[in-house]
Amino acid sequence: MCGRYVLKTSMRQLQRIYGIPDDDTSRSEEWRPRYNLAPSQDAPVVRVLAGQRRLDLLRWGLLPGWATDPTLALKLINARSETVATKPAFRGAFRSRRCIVPADGFYEWQAGPSGKQPFYIHAADDSVLSLAGLWETWRSPGGEVLETYAILTTEANAWMRPLHDRMPVILLGEAVDQWLDPASSAGALQSLLKAPPEVSLKAYPVSRAVGAVKNDSAELIEPQS
């Protein structure tokens, strides 16, 4: 599961990383660095619309177009890679509405004698992680339009397993382009849904303050002894 993450990289930097023109960013003026992103909050995702890459703010927690209860989104923050192609809530988006969720890192909690200890997990070279995501558009009976996303997860690799049995799907190099390409086959997409190389991530313990959504500052990712 991936239930909290960090994105402190600026929108302008994300545009350069993902090759997005300056005029193809929606609501960029609303964005600020975030150190405790949580479900139901808005965050940048990279997606392809009309053949062009965009960086848009969408809400975390996928709400399928057929949903009648908007609170369903809180149950669909993650999509399991093993069932994403067949589960009704995700299969349509898997076919044609895929996105990248940029993250500087994410949190997981490890059970211990004194309770659960949060860890901050990030790229060993401090680069931005490209998490595989899905997005959807939902319209309420009153005409409200809401765009939402979910993060794909997969079975944890040996490095991650002491912390959690699941981890986000992290796409590397050409896999990013393949995930966003509307022409990618289902078989090619499924081959991307696996844990990243063992040496790509680092982790360290951080403050338990990250457990409260109201806390959102750089101090949350400072190492704790």
Residue 81: is it exposed, middle or buried by C-beta count within 10 angstroms (0-12/13-18/19+)?
Answer: buried
Tokens of 191: 């081959």
Tokens of 171: 């796409």
Please answer whether residues 14 and 100 qualify as being in contact, where contact means their C-beta atoms are separated by less than 8 angstroms: no
Residues for the chain: how many in total? Answer: 225
- Residue 45 forms beta bridges with which residues? 56
Listed in order, strand segments (DSSP E) in 52-97 are 52-60, 78-80
Distance (Å, rounded) from C-alpha 18 to C-alpha 171?
Answer: 13
Please answer whether residues 22 and 52 qualify as being in contact, where contact means their C-beta atoms are separated by less than 8 angstroms: no
Which sequence positions are flagged as catalytic?
Answer: 2, 108
Tokens of 158: 């040996």
CA 162 to chain CA centroid, Å, is: 21
Q: 62 by DSSP, 3-state: which?
A: coil
Please answer whether residues 195 and 154 qualify as being in contact, where contact means their C-beta atoms are separated by less than 8 angstroms: yes
